[in-house]
Amino acid sequence: MLTDPATTEIYTLSLHDALPISDHWKWAVGAATVVLVVVVGTLFLVVLRSDTAEAGPAPSVILEPTATPDEASTPIPTSPPKVIATRSPTAVPTLSPQLADPVVLPSTVNVPIYLTGAKNVGSLEFVLTYDPTVLEVSDVEAGGLAQNSLFDFGVRVPGRLWAGLIDTDGINGDGPLAVVSFKVIGPGSSASQLTLENVATYDARSLLDILADATSGNFTVDGPTLTAPVLAFPR
């Protein structure tokens, strides 16, 4: 007869009963570590995927074949151009124009009244006419031939000078009878005629008239230029 083997009794043991207390603590730490690694890895993958989605697909790089230079296209070195030195033009000095000296206009002029060929002239009078807008009489003096004579003059009307003299010994020879001093009042371009009018001469002994030829003079302010009037007696 077969007899049933004895039934083995199974006792249910808890994990706490199967493992010692120290092994249970190690298992708990290990499980926590695994969970932490899984969480961190999951977060890393989420962040990586979000960055990749924002960046977009990576640009594709197309490689172009590099051209191999052939001998025909190789540049041939050329020598640099020669620089030829040229002389810089020499400046020719130019003379600066010289300014002319300013024209100084006269303020006064002395006009002599000349006698030529005088013989025993005892008395003489005349009127000298001039332009009163150019000249103005300032003084009249006896000339070299009339130093011993009685001499007088006067300007009754501007532009007309009267002068007269008496010499009992008589005047002889050539020279100035009188010298008229004028003040120049006209502009530089002005001029004045100097004319002898109403000339009367007498002989010192016979008291007869003596004929004389009068030649007019001229005065120009710009210059100035002067031509003296002359009384010429016949020789």
If one counts every other C-beta atom within 10 angstroms of the C-beta of residue 220, the result is 16
Q: What percent of the chain has pLDDT over 70?
A: 58
**Nearest Cα to Cα of residue 160 among 136, 188, 184, 185:** 136
Residue 174 and residue 232: Cα distance in Å, rounded?
9
Q: Which domains does the chain have, with CATH numbers?
A: 108-232 (2.60.40.680)
Euclidean distance between CA atoms 28 and 33, whole angstroms: 9
- The Cα–Cα gap between 199 and 127 comes to 7
Q: What is the pLDDT at residue 172? A: 94
User: Band of the pLDDT at 36, cuts 50, 70, 90?
Assistant: confident
Residue 5 reports pLDDT greater than 90? no
Lowest mean pLDDT of 52-66, 85-99, 202-216, name the range: 52-66
- pLDDT of 15 reads 47
pLDDT number for residue 2: 47
Asked whether 175 and 230 are in contact (CB, 8 A), the reply is no
* Upper half-sphere CA count for residue 162 (Cβ side, 13 Å): 7
Is the pLDDT assigned to residue 190 strictly greater than 80? yes
- Asked whether the predicted pLDDT for residue 192 surpasses 60, the reply is yes
